[in-house]
Amino acid sequence: MDEVTKDNVLSSMKLGVDVVRNVAKEIGVEFPEDYIGFVKKFHGGSPEFEVVDIPERNECVFNRLLSFSKNESTILKVVLQLSDRLPKNLIPIASDPFGNYYCFGYTTYVPKIVLWCYETANKLFVADPFAKMIEMLYLPS
């Protein structure tokens, strides 16, 4: 995963694993290890390779990973803001530029990545597991 991403994602600051685990505990979930390792380095970052094709839609934009920093758009803030709309088994981890969120879908022990569409509340399968989604990102044409 580091080979694919180390030069492709910008982030403001490094993060300790304890912060990630505390946020997960507060939300009531357990984040996958591949995600924890990734956000330790890149939370709040925007990838250079920002497009992903999913089974139901081509060229979805992956804008930014949600942050764990108190000064930015954090997972906790987004969960609270969307608590009346977002299904309880979805935990937002990233956004697109249109108000939609890439989420962990906790229907199994290892959550799948889904794109939750804000206006329609549709859930579109993206990838399983998180690392696969990162590998699927590419530069727009």
Does 131 have pLDDT greater than 60? yes
Altogether, the residues listed in the chain come to a count of 141
pLDDT of residue 140: 82
Does 11 have pLDDT greater than 60? no
Output the average pLDDT for the chain.
Answer: 86
pTM of the model: 0.87
Domains of the chain by residue range: 2-136
* Residues linked to residue 52 through DSSP beta bridges, in sequence order: 60
CATH architecture of the domain 2-136 equals 3-Layer(aba) Sandwich (3.40)
**Which two tokens mark 86?**
């977002």
Average pLDDT for 74-82 = 92
**Which two tokens mark 24?**
């997960």
Condensed to tens digits (0 to 9), the pLDDT of residues 39-55 reads: 988 888 888 888 999 98
- Alpha-carbon gap, residue 138 to 46, rounded angstroms: 13
